[in-house]
């Protein structure tokens, strides 16, 4: 999930709220498929497609109907709430005494804990590998450049709308897959489970970047996975220290707010003169508008 | 090579801030022409280039590049045959990506992008060679993030990117204006060299009248959305800044107001 959020937030420079809905969509699709006796691995694949469809909707709203990215994500997220309820038929589907991706491995004689760990590891490594490859390809490079400097990308003959769409589709697909895995891990899918996931995703992205650096693209991807794990550990720790689980989201939100504002605090201490691309293109626009 | 036929560009049509920026403007460039374009602030130079590049659609008229009517083509489609360098060094490159990654994006300008690896080793060699010709020491820093380069280095790189896949038309919009005089001179000479080496059809906006006279084979001056002077060949070679100012006055009935140009 962190990686999904990373794609939109860091690579495309969009905070995509669709993920709040698509994570539940993934869980819902997987839960319904499994209770209908479909192979749990296949259910994860279905979840992937469901998430990609959600990403496509946001992409269409944004690039075709020109609705701002943030709002497009919110619209899809809200719509998905109803869609997810439709898929699930009720607000909670328990997944007890059914085959999940984990029980298949448990049957091989592994303990539940090891099954979760091994599968988690395989999935994460798989995704890191695939994404590392993908973002190194011609299309992948074009997507990365789009988030960085769309004007330049268009000047290089690349359709930025297409690139944004591909990014949104992939990221929501990934998020839905993680939703499917989470549902099977916790043995239920719940209509509420997506709430706050964007913030958790961002928290993991930021922790990953702060702790594990942002040197090469590969180390960033690995950092993301580690960031997500670190986030989990931190949460477990603060819970053990006696924080009420009800305060958890507040705690996460504050952490992310602080982390995101670090550059501002830093610039109070050390004035930096480097301006970002966006600022300079604004400046350019202002210049163009100043008239005679 | 380029034929702009009676184009009109209006910003915010039908509103109180309606602004007719290009008025029934026509311009034709032969293959190999190196045209310098001058004009006061807001005379519509950038808008003309942006209309040619498809950044803005035009309200009337047609734009034909190398025999193809591109008026209806959107920006990414036109980019296949255009090379562009912008005034702002930040705009021409992706700052979070490496030098070689930027070059690789530019090499594939106008091509379908697939799932092939983004850069091949063979390309790398080519980039290294080309960067060596810039004499900026960039050839050993292929993977350096472009964001770490100076403005001049960035513009030189953007120039290289714009011409890496030979464009039918090169559009330079005050691409040295943001640089210090010495660097500006260097980038300008570099541009001239590349243009002449590949015999590129070029349209270059500049604020510096002396540069406008010195470079290229033809000089165009714009005023309030129209072309008011078009000087070529021998006549251009023998032009002096004073002539230019006088002829501007005659053609427009106004005094030339462009603080940057007078200082230059
Ligand atoms: N995107 C836009 N929307 C509205 N008006 C615009 C836009 N771009 C340019 N203009 C207006 O068009 C006119 C011409 O601008 P343009 O940038 O083409 O001038 P210029 O000749 O390039 O000037 P400069 O020498 O300052 O670069 C100006 O009055 C400007 O305000
Ligand atoms: Mg301009």
A291 has pLDDT over 70: no
Q: What is the 3-state secondary structure (H, E, C) of A53-84?
A: HHHHHHHHHHHHCCCCHHHHHHHHHHHHHHHH
Q: Write down the residue that tokens 């960067």 correspond to.
A: B131
- Structure confidence at residue A22 as a pLDDT band (50, 70, 90): very high
Residues A138 and A205 in one domain: no
Would A277 be classed as within a structural domain? no
Rounded to the nearest whole angstrom, what is the distance from the C-alpha of residue B161 to the centroid of ligand 2? 21
All residues at 6 or more sequence positions from A234 whose CB lies less than 8 Å from its CB, including other chains: A207
Residues A173 and A216 in one domain: no
Please state, in angstroms and rounded to a whole number, the distance separating the CA atoms of residues A72 and A59.
8
CB contact under 8 A, B94 and A140: no
- Using a CB–CB cutoff of 8 Å, tell me whether B122 touches chain A: no
- Mean pLDDT of the region A243-262: 82
> How confident is the model at residue B47, as a pLDDT?
95
Contact A266, A274 (CB under 8 A): no
Identify the segments of chain B with pLDDT beneath 70: 255-264
> How confident is the model at residue A79, as a pLDDT?
96
Q: What is the 3-state secondary structure (H, E, C) of B12-27?
A: CCCCCCCEEEEEEEEE
Pair type for strands B2-11 and B19-29: antiparallel
Q: Which residue has the higher pLDDT, A239 or A56?
A: A56
Please state, in angstroms and rounded to a whole number, the distance separating the CA atoms of residues A45 and B8.
53
Residues A11 and A148 in one domain: yes
| CA B235, B240, B243, B244 torsion-angle sign | positive
Minimum mean pLDDT among A31-35, A128-132, A273-277, B222-226: which range?
A: A273-277
Q: What count of CB pairs under 8 Å joins A to B?
A: 111
Q: Which two tokens stand for residue B110?
A: 């106008």
pLDDT one-digit tens code per residue, B27-80: 999 999 999 999 988 999 999 999 999 999 999 999 999 999 999 999 999 999
A42 has pLDDT over 60: yes
Residues A65 and A122 in one domain: yes
Would A185 be classed as within a structural domain? yes
Q: Where do the DSSP E strands lie in chain A?
A: 92-94, 188-190
Taking alpha carbons only, the member of B192, B179, B151, B181 closest to residue B264 is B181
First to last CA, chain B: 31
CB contact under 8 A, B42 and A144: no
pLDDT one-digit tens code per residue, A215-245: 777 888 888 888 888 888 888 888 888 888 8
ipTM of predicted complex: 0.85
Q: Which residue has the higher pLDDT, A8 or B186?
A: B186
Would A20 be classed as within a structural domain? yes
Structurally, chain A folds into a number of domains equal to 2
Does residue B41 have its Cβ closer than 6 Å to ligand 1? Answer: yes
Residues A124 and A142 in one domain: yes
CB contact under 8 A, A157 and B118: no
Residues A20 and A50 in one domain: yes
Residues A255 and A145 in one domain: no
Residues A204 and A84 in one domain: no
- Structure confidence at residue A283 as a pLDDT band (50, 70, 90): very low
Residues A184 and A252 in one domain: no
Q: Which two tokens stand for residue B117?
A: 């690896």
Q: Which fold has domain B2-93+151-253?
A: Rossmann fold (3.40.50)
Would A284 be classed as within a structural domain? no
Identify residues of A whose CB sits under 8 angstroms from chain B CBs: 134, 136-142, 144-145, 148-149, 151-160, 274-275, 277, 280-281, 283-284, 288, 290-292
**What is the domain extent for residue A29?**
1-193
Where are chain B's structural domains?
2-93+151-253
Residues A15 and A115 in one domain: yes
Please state, in angstroms and rounded to a whole number, the distance separating the CA atoms of residues A281 and B5.
30
**Phi, psi for residue B88 in degrees, rounded to 5:** -85, 120
Please state, in angstroms and rounded to a whole number, the distance separating the CA atoms of residues A31 and A40.
9
| CA A53, A54, A55, A61 torsion-angle sign | positive
> How confident is the model at residue A1, as a pLDDT?
60
Q: Which residue has the higher pLDDT, A278 or B187?
A: B187
Please state, in angstroms and rounded to a whole number, the distance separating the CA atoms of residues A84 and A79.
9
Residues A143 and A260 in one domain: no
């Amino acid at each position: 999930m962190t990686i999904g959020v990373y794609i939109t937030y860091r690579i495309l420079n969009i905070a995509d709220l669709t993920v709040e809905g698509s994570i539940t969509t993934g869980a819902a699709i997987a839960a319904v498929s499994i209770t209908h006796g479909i192979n749990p691995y296949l259910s994860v694949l279905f979840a992937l497609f469901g998430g990609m469809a959600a990403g496509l909707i946001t992409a269409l709203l944004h690039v075709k109907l020109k609705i701002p990215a943030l709002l497009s994500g919110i619209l899809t997220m809200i719509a998905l709430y109803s869609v997810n309820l439709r898929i699930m038929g009720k607000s909670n589907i328990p997944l007890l005494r059914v085959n999940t991706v984990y029980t298949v491995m448990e049957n091989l004689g592994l303990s539940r804990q090891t099954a979760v760990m091994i599968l988690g590891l395989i999935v994460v490594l798989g995704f890191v590998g695939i994404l590392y490859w993908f973002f190194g390809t011609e299309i992948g490079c074009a997507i990365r450049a789009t988030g960085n400097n769309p004007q330049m990308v268009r000047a290089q003959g690349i359709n930025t709308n297409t690139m944004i769409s591909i990014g949104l589709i992939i990221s929501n697909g990934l998020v839905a897959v993680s939703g499917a895995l989470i549902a099977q891990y916790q043995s239920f899918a719940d209509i509420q489970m997506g709430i706050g996931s964007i913030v958790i995703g961002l928290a993991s992205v930021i922790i990953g970047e702060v702790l594990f650096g942002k040197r090469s693209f590969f180390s960033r991807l690995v950092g993301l996975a580690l960031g997500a794990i670190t986030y989990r550990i931190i949460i477990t720790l603060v819970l053990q220290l006696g924080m009420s689980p009800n305060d958890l989201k507040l705690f996460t939100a504050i952490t992310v707010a602080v982390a995101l504002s670090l550059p501002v605090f830093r610039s109070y201490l050390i004035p930096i003169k480097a301006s970002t691309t966006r600022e300079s293109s604004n400046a350019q626009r202002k210049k163009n508008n100043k008239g005679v | 090579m380029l034929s702009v036929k009676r184009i009109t560009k209006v910003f915010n049509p039908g509103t109180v801030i309606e602004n007719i920026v290009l008025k029934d403007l026509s311009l034709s460039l032969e293959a190999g022409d190196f045209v310098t374009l001058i004009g006061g602030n807001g005379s519509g130079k950038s808008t003309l280039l942006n209309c040619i590049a498809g950044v803005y659609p035009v309200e009337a008229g047609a734009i034909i590049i190398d025999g193809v009517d591109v008026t209806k083509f959107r920006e990414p489609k036109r980019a296949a045959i255009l090379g562009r360098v912008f005034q702002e060094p930040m705009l021409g490159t992706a700052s979070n990506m490496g030098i070689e990654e930027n070059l690789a994006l530019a090499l594939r300008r106008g091509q379908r992008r697939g799932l092939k690896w983004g850069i091949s080793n063979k390309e790398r060699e080519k980039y290294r060679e080309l960067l060596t010709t810039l004499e900026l020491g960039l050839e050993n820093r292929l993977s350096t993030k472009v964001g770490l380069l100076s403005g001049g280095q960035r513009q030189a790189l953007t120039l290289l990117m714009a011409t890496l896949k030979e464009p039918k038309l090169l559009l330079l919009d005050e691409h040295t204006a943001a640089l210090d005089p010495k660097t500006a001179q260097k980038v300008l000479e570099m541009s001239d060299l590349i243009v002449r080496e590949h015999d590129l059809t070029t349209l270059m906006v500049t604020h510096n009248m002396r540069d406008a006279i010195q470079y290229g084979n033809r000089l165009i001056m714009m005023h309030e959305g129209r072309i008011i002077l078009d000087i070529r060949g021998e006549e251009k070679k023998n032009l002096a800044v004073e002539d230019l100012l006088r002829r501007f006055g005659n053609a427009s009935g106004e005094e030339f107001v462009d603080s940057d140009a007078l200082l230059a």
